[in-house]
Amino acid sequence: MGVLGLHYFFRCYFSEQVMSGFIVGGCVHVVFSQLGDALGIKLPKRNGPGYLYYRLLDLIELFPTLHMPTTCISVLSALFLLIGKEKLTPWLAEVFMFPVPYELILVIVGITATNFAELARRYQVQVVGNIPTHFPPPSPPRLDLVPSILHHSFGIALAATAIHLTVAKVVEKRYKYKIDYAQELYALGFTSLLSSLFPVFPFTSGFARSVIGAAVGSSTQLTCFFSSVALLSVILYIGTALEYLPQCILATMIILSQKLIFAKFDELKELWPVFKYDFAIWIVSMLFTICWDIAEGILLSVGFAVLTTVIRSQKPRWHYLIASADGAFRETKRKELEM
């Protein structure tokens, strides 16, 4: 996309309203993808347009198979995180000079309880399991898988680009400087090409992580360097300690991490009185993403945004100006102009 010069297209048609609605709709997909692990329900795999509808039906149909120990752990984990972040953080901020890592505390407690109480053996609580503790060697991608994953790859690429540019726009707006979108696309492309040689997830920016990093003053690549060193240490040395981490705790942490993104609903209060078209784009973009899949949702959202542009061009607003005695222009009504 960077080579083809599509940064202009993304800047013009991937508006902030399209991106916001798309990201909120994507968060709904994330929440539903984690509900099975959080409740201990084994859900069949679903994909394709409208799969979220079938996922909801599966949850309703299989709800009687809910695993009570797993559900209890998820509920307790959610209460710990919510109470800690919403109630205790303002009070503890006056005591400690650094934010309390509630997620890390929850992981340590979960691993310890699962290991010593043997929750996996006695109550069939699903745990993460074996984690490789070595750095995988590079290997060429399997081209024989391209026909079966091309559609999903297209959707993932669009979603990753949309999320990355949305985060870039948020940072750009907050710090009042211009971002080179072509450079961002090149960075995404080269990083994805390099990561394709290793068994890793596709690269994009994390909205919550970027906002928190900006809030604490991170402004250079040293932040990413130290984060990468810490992550590499976890992979090489601490991975075995995470084998007893219950999957329901991970699922609960992922679900609650979407809370910051769902706060983007507050944008609707500002859009409605100012510009109804942007309000409609936000809502329709979210609904398209929820009702269809990620790839189809972003394409339909952009198409709707283009359609609203055409509609607005067919119904322009006219403003009549007349010159006053001092030579300045002021707006007037049409019948005053005819007189």
In-domain check, residue 289? yes
In-domain check, residue 301? yes
In-domain check, residue 114? yes
299 near 157, Cβ under 8 Å?
A: no
Tokens of 143: 């081209």
Mean pLDDT calculated for residue range 172-179:
73
pLDDT higher at 262 or 110: 110
* Alpha carbon of residue 50 to chain centroid: 19
* Alpha carbon of residue 199 to chain centroid: 21
The domain total for the chain is 1
Mean pLDDT calculated for residue range 302-328:
78
Please give the DSSP secondary-structure letter assigned to residue 201: P
Q: Over the stretch 229-265, which tens digit does the pLDDT of each residue have?
A: 887 877 777 777 788 889 999 899 888 888 877 888 8
195 near 202, Cβ under 8 Å?
A: yes
Helix (H) / strand (E) element for 320: namely: strand 320-323
- Using 50, 70 and 90 to split pLDDT, how confident is the model at 271? confident
Q: Over the stretch 183-219, which tens digit does the pLDDT of each residue have?
A: 888 888 888 888 888 887 777 776 656 666 665 566 6
User: Is residue 321 helix, strand or coil?
Assistant: strand
In-domain check, residue 211? yes
Confidence at residue 80, expressed as pLDDT on a 0 to 100 scale: 92
Whole-angstrom Cα distance, residue 35 to residue 256?
Answer: 11
User: Is residue 332 helix, strand or coil?
Assistant: strand
Q: Over the stretch 30-65, which tens digit does the pLDDT of each residue have?
A: 888 888 889 988 888 877 777 888 888 989 999 988
Helix (H) / strand (E) element for 39: namely: helix 16-39
Name the H helices within 234-293: 247-257, 259-262, 267-274, 276-291
Full domain range(s) for residue 153: 7-338
In-domain check, residue 227? yes
In-domain check, residue 1? no
**pTM of full prediction above 0.85:** no
- What percent of the chain lies above the pLDDT cut of 70? 88
Mean of all residue pLDDT scores within the chain: 80
Tokens 């750009």 -> residue: 172
Whole-angstrom Cα distance, residue 87 to residue 218?
Answer: 26
